[in-house]
Amino acid sequence: MSPTGIQKTHIDVGGIKIELERRGQGKPLLLLQGEEALEAEAPFLDDLAKDYELLIPAPPGFGTSDRPDWIGNPSDIAYVYLDLVEKLAIGKAPLLGFSLGGWIAAEMATKDDSFISKLVLVAPLGIKVGGPTARDIADIWTLNPKEIMALKWFDPEKGKRDFPSMPEEKLAVIARNTESFARFCWDPYMHNPKLKHRLHRINVPTLLIWGEKDGIVKPDYGAAYRDLIRGSKITFVPDARHFPHIEQPQTFMGHLRDFLK
């Protein structure tokens, strides 16, 4: 264990090396980070680790996890994670996913939710709710970077990252994450056409948390997600866009704790 209470290891899952971070003590909670992995450095994580042992895997192609050629989308990643859960033998545990991680969590839950005590999806991607020409999810690959920042952050200053001061090793991981995100989510764009037809299979208490001003996946998208998961609820965080857990951590943790307790 490191001085900061963070332990990083690699777990072999069906011949795939998966990076796994453990943080905190208590009952396990499986946390699936978003595509930018900003959660690892967010203050709310230390707060959450006071109550749970956080298990934070890096998806294939992200961090230092392997990326075998046969993995082509988040549905494939979900099967790898289900094998990881079985190997870790965590029993019943909460599953918490952010953005891409929320999409993967939803995919997992439609396939097997027997290990999930409660499911929390924070601004998940993954479904198509409008018509063929409707833009449900902002096109982050073609918009100007300043426009993207304005869609992601209520206060764009909070989203700025000091890339010039980062070590090469960290920059390489960021570049790899971006490349894998594009590879898995480019076509079809940011969704699995089959997922919305499977969400009714989720049969565990489910909460969706959304930034009230999210410009990447707007609140109406969140409401559509909620309507597809039986019995699920949605709560909105004021003065936040796509990262309510980072922009408004106290409000976010209040909603999360109320649901998990």
Q: What is the pLDDT of residue 2?
A: 42
Q: What is the pLDDT of residue 134?
A: 86
Q: What is the pTM of this model?
A: 0.96
CA distance linking residue 65 with residue 59, whole number of Å:
6
Which residues are registered as beta bridge partners of 192?
A: none
| Helix (H), strand (E) at residue 43 | helix 43-48
Is the CATH number of domain 6-260 3.40.50.1820? yes
Q: What is the pLDDT of residue 73?
A: 98
**Residues 45-51: contacts with CB within 8 Å, 24+ apart?**
47/249, 47/253, 48/24, 48/253, 48/256, 49/5, 49/23, 49/24, 49/25, 50/24, 50/26, 51/24, 51/26, 51/257
- H-type alpha helices, 57-122: 74-88, 100-111
Q: What is the pLDDT of residue 1?
A: 38
- The contacts of residue 217 (CB under 8 Å, 6+ apart) are 123, 124, 125, 136, 137, 138, 242
CA distance linking residue 25 with residue 48, whole number of Å:
10
Q: Which regions of the chain are under pLDDT 70? A: 1-4
Give the DSSP per-residue string, 195-261: GGGTGGG--S-EEEEEETT-SSS-HHHHHHHHHHSTT-EEEEETT-SS-HHHHSHHHHHHHHHHHH-
Which residues are registered as beta bridge partners of 23?
A: 6, 54
Q: What is the pLDDT of residue 132?
A: 83
